[in-house]
């Protein structure tokens, strides 16, 4: 996968090269959290780790600017027309792109980061998996364990 003009891939990241800088992350607004403003109990979810989903039917959620938190199931992995993307039946809309994709942990307050929303067409949402983001951008996501 290439990140190049006209290559069809869009991504943005902040790379913190030295671990000591992560201590200032909350001060400058970088936190290991996902917003869930529609929830009365868990308005903030904490990113515990990042994992790769590898099975059809796995349940994932996203937090988007426009449609907020919605969830759905994985329907397909890389294949014809998907190239490094994962297809889900998760509802999303314009303005949600770039939102985090995650799976809830048992307590519903912590989550595992799975990727970012890359393409949305109502009930078909395409995800760039976390392993592609890690590999191409050479980054490690910030979690509450850091």
Mean pLDDT, residues 138-146 taken together: 70
So where are the chain's domains?
A: 19-137
Higher pLDDT, 37 or 112: 112
CATH architecture of 19-137: Beta Barrel (2.40)
Residues in contact with 118: Cβ distance below 8 Å, sequence separation at least 6, in sequence order: 9, 10, 85, 97, 126, 127, 128
Q: What is the pTM of this model?
A: 0.77
Strands 110-121 and 124-129: antiparallel
d(CA 59, CA 85): 16
146 touches 32 (CB < 8 A): yes
Q: How many Cβ atoms sit within 10 Å of the Cβ of residue 81?
A: 9
Highest mean pLDDT, choosing among 14-18, 113-117, 118-122, 141-145: 113-117
d(CA 53, CA 43): 24
pLDDT (tens digit, 9 = 90+) per residue, 36-94?
888 888 888 888 888 888 889 999 999 999 999 999 999 988 765 667 889 999 999 98
Tokens of 38: 């529609």
């Amino acid at each position: 996968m290439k990140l190049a003009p006209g290559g069809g891939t869009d991504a943005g990241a902040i790379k913190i090269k030295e671990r000591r800088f992560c201590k200032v992350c909350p001060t400058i607004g970088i936190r290991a959290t996902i917003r869930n403003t529609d929830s009365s109990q868990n308005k903030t979810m904490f990113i515990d780790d990042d994992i790769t989903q590898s099975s059809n039917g796995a349940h994932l959620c996203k937090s988007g600017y426009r449609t907020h938190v919605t969830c759905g199931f994985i329907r397909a992995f890389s294949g014809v027309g998907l190239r490094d993307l994962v297809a889900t039946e998760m509802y999303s809309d314009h303005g949600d792109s770039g939102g985090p994709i995650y799976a809830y942990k048992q307590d519903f307050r912590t989550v595992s980061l799975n990727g970012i929303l890359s393409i949305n067409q109502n009930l078909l949402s395409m995800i760039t998996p976390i392993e592609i983001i890690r590999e191409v951008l050479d980054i490690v996501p910030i979690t509450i364990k850091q």
